[in-house]
Amino acid sequence: MVAIGVENAPSVPVITYAFEILTNTFSAAFAGLIIGAITGEFLHTLYGLLVLVVIRYISGGYHLKSSLWCVAASTFVVAAIPHVPVHSASIPYLTGFSVIMMLIFAPANYDKYATIPKRYYPLLKVLAAALVATNFIFSSEIMTVVFAVQSVLLLFKEGGEEQ
């Protein structure tokens, strides 16, 4: 970039870090979807993945220190989502729990990993809680599992990429 005259070109470590994030994300998504296809739950896995990506972007959460562990844990979560049974009577309670967790803890770890200004954090909190609250209407087992898992991940404050 410097050779072709790009002003304020990002450093090699910044580009490497961005590449690792993209590689981790796509690896976990791809592996989770492959497992979903093998287990006959491809569409439910895809649905869970999409919901997880959206709520995680809005609410933040824990980041593992190792890229390898990140891919492994993310793959496990994505692949497991459609296989976790949720009794229909427990959906409102788990959804309510998740809404409360979002209102208390979201956005989590944004100060380390996101480029969104802090003045938008209250909006992110409300958006996260509102998105979770839509499950009171949809009563989706998959959304329930995703939101419950993400709510718990908001509790952890440590983490980050290993150098």
Asked whether the predicted pLDDT for residue 71 surpasses 70, the reply is yes
Q: Is residue 34 part of a domain?
A: yes
Q: Is residue 119 part of a domain?
A: yes
Range of the domain at 72: 12-153
The arithmetic mean of pLDDT across residues 60-82, rounded, is 92
Q: Is residue 82 part of a domain?
A: yes
pTM (two decimals): 0.88
- CA-based nearest residue to 135, from 156, 153, 155, 151: 151
Percent of the chain residues topping a pLDDT of 90 = 72
Do 69 and 118 contact (CB within 8 A), yes or no? no
Q: Is residue 160 part of a domain?
A: no
Out of 10-14, 17-21, 26-30, the most confident range is: 26-30
Tell which wins on pLDDT, 92 or 16. 92
Q: Is residue 5 part of a domain?
A: no
The arithmetic mean of pLDDT across residues 139-160, rounded, is 90
- Residue 162 has a pLDDT of 44
Question: 60: alpha, beta or left, given left = phi > 0 and alpha = psi -120 to 50?
Answer: left
Q: How many domains in the chain?
A: 1
pLDDT band at 139; cut points 50, 70, 90 = very high
Q: Is residue 161 part of a domain?
A: no
pLDDT tens, residue by residue, 111-136? 776 778 999 999 999 999 999 999 99
- How many angstroms separate the first and last alpha carbons of the chain? 23
Q: Is residue 1 part of a domain?
A: no
pLDDT tens, residue by residue, 22-65? 999 999 999 999 999 999 999 999 999 999 999 999 999 887 88
- CA-based nearest residue to 76, from 8, 153, 131: 153
Q: Is residue 163 part of a domain?
A: no
